[in-house]
Amino acid sequence: MAIEVVPLPLPHSADATKFANFGREVRGVDLRSLDPAEFKQIEELLYKHSALLFRNVDLSPAQQYALAKAFDPTSESFGHGNKKIENTKSSILHQTLRAVPAVPQVYLVGNGTIYDHEGIPELTLQHPSHKTWHKAHQSAEDQEKGATRFVRWHMDAAFYDFNPPRVTTLYGINVPQGPRQMVKYDDGTGDELEVPLAATAFVSGKTMFDILPHALKSLAVRSSVKYAPHPYVWISTAKAKPTGLGIETEGLEMRYDLLPEWEESKIQVLPLCWKNPVTGDLHLQVHPMCAAELMVDPLPESAQREDALYPDGGHITDLQELRDLLYQMQRPGIAPQLVYPHDWRAKDLIIFHNRGAMHSVTGNLKPDQIRTYHQCNLAASDRPVGPSADDIKIWS
């Protein structure tokens, strides 16, 4: 059977012109037994379209691990290191991720109490909260009426010691049913986005870069981010912005000397733009919550200095300044018309290019709204590649 590729079902809120290349549904393949030619085709589709949807999939945790590993055959451990999350109780991810015992590279995410699942007799999962994690809370009345938020815009990556995974596979086993909800941006813009219950929202890192004005593109291609050591512990005492795109700067981050033991050599410094291995496009990929410093290279000699930001380069260590810059670069890319909120059906599998897109969960779930998902991503065997010398010349 030939592979069939169709566009994703875009919501009315989406600007279809901006999604021409983003996202595809793939039909006519059995992910459990791909031959090399089929895998090659899927791999290329993924890097071209950033997110692939497969419906009615049956996939065991071992098969899901094998599928993720096919994209990076020498990778071994979960994106955050096997068992690292269980062992780091103060991490903000600890409450929401639990490893499948037999396949520790596959994590359970979801909501409610599940029984007899993959060797786990009983487990209560907690949907990531938009109620306690953001600085400003939505009123109980608004939540009752279906208000929700983006919990956390991110890529799946430890940003310490382990390289960001190339892909994430996300498999919906139990999908909660209920009325649609309204994501409120609550940032003074009045922006909102209607989403299916507990939708996973995706945005394209390529679009995020493409829509920037010249001065910010120039800054993006010349910049690298230094991430904090154990960043998810570092921010565990801080609060998120209402859009879920970064942290409010209030000096609440954990002091470095109070973090679990860390080594300078394991700190990650990564370019702001990551180059797509198939298309050569640049994707703006930065975890705004985990970022601690920004290093900016000077403009190349051929570039116009007029209106340039940091023309002689710079090293930004002030968190407010850093976060303001990142927000300026990233907020346009999460505008309602640029978000694809996936309307999950049971047995949907999404493979997304974790180095080319950002995602956030949404949704306000009650304990009896059971959500069971398996997630697998693997710490990559290599680092993301930044802009080439030519890219820097072109965009500076």
Contact 290, 232 (CB under 8 A): yes
Task: Tell me how far apart the alpha carbons of residues 114 and 98 are, in angstroms, rounded to a whole number.
Answer: 12
Span interacting with Fe ion, options 1-9, 126-134, 150-158, 248-256, rule CB under 5 A: 150-158
Shortest Å, Cβ 375 to Fe ion = 7
For Fe ion, the closer CB: 67 or 219:
67
Number of Cβ atoms within 10 Å of the Cβ of 280: 10
Shortest Å, Cβ 290 to Fe ion = 13
What torsion, rounded to 10 degrees, do the Cα atoms 112, 117, 118, 120 define?
A: 80
Cα angle: 331, vertex 337, 343; to 5 degrees: 110
Span interacting with Fe ion, options 57-65, 148-156, 237-245, 287-295, rule CB under 5 A: 148-156
Span interacting with Fe ion, options 6-14, 152-160, 264-272, 346-354, rule CB under 5 A: 152-160
Span interacting with Fe ion, options 11-19, 156-164, 188-196, 298-306, rule CB under 5 A: 156-164
For Fe ion, the closer CB: 152 or 323:
152
Tokens of 184: 């409120």
Pairing status of strand 167-174 against strand 147-148: unpaired
Residues 39-68 that bind Fe ion (CB under 5 A): none
Q: Among 317, 276, 324, which Cα is nearest to 296's?
A: 317
Shortest Å, Cβ 155 to Fe ion = 7
How many CA atoms are closer than 13 Å to the CA of 110, on its beta-carbon side?
29
Q: Rounded to the nearest 5°, which phi and psi values hold at 380?
A: -75, 160
For Fe ion, the closer CB: 201 or 292:
201
Contact 206, 276 (CB under 8 A): yes
Q: How many chain residues are in contact with Fe ion, going by CB under 5 A?
A: 1
Residue 270 C-alpha from the chain's centroid:
16
Residues 179-208 that bind Fe ion (CB under 5 A): none
The β-bridge partners of 380 are 163
Shortest Å, Cβ 200 to Fe ion = 8
Span interacting with Fe ion, options 12-20, 37-45, 75-83, 151-159, rule CB under 5 A: 151-159
For Fe ion, the closer CB: 169 or 364:
169
Task: Tell me how far apart the alpha carbons of residues 215 and 309 are, in angstroms, rounded to a whole number.
Answer: 6
The β-bridge partners of 6 are 25
Residues 248-307 that bind Fe ion (CB under 5 A): none
Span interacting with Fe ion, options 17-25, 38-46, 80-88, 154-162, rule CB under 5 A: 154-162
256 Cβ contact partners less than 8 Å away, ≥ 6 residues apart: 228, 229, 234, 262
For Fe ion, the closer CB: 170 or 322:
170
Shortest Å, Cβ 110 to Fe ion = 13
Q: Is 373 in the site for Fe ion (CB under 5 A)?
A: no
Residue 382 C-alpha from the chain's centroid:
18
Shortest Å, Cβ 142 to Fe ion = 25
- Return the amino acid letter for 258: L
Span interacting with Fe ion, options 76-84, 153-161, 246-254, 298-306, rule CB under 5 A: 153-161
Shortest Å, Cβ 168 to Fe ion = 6
Contact 336, 151 (CB under 8 A): no
Length of the chain: 396
For Fe ion, the closer CB: 228 or 361:
361
Shortest Å, Cβ 173 to Fe ion = 17
For Fe ion, the closer CB: 156 or 253:
156
Shortest Å, Cβ 170 to Fe ion = 8
Number of Cβ atoms within 10 Å of the Cβ of 61: 22
Residue number of the CB closest to Fe ion reads 156
The β-bridge partners of 358 are 203
Shortest Å, Cβ 127 to Fe ion = 13
* Binder of Fe ion out of 72, 156, 253, 348 (CB under 5 A): 156
Tokens of 269: 């410094």
Interface residues with Fe ion (CB under 5 A)?
A: 156
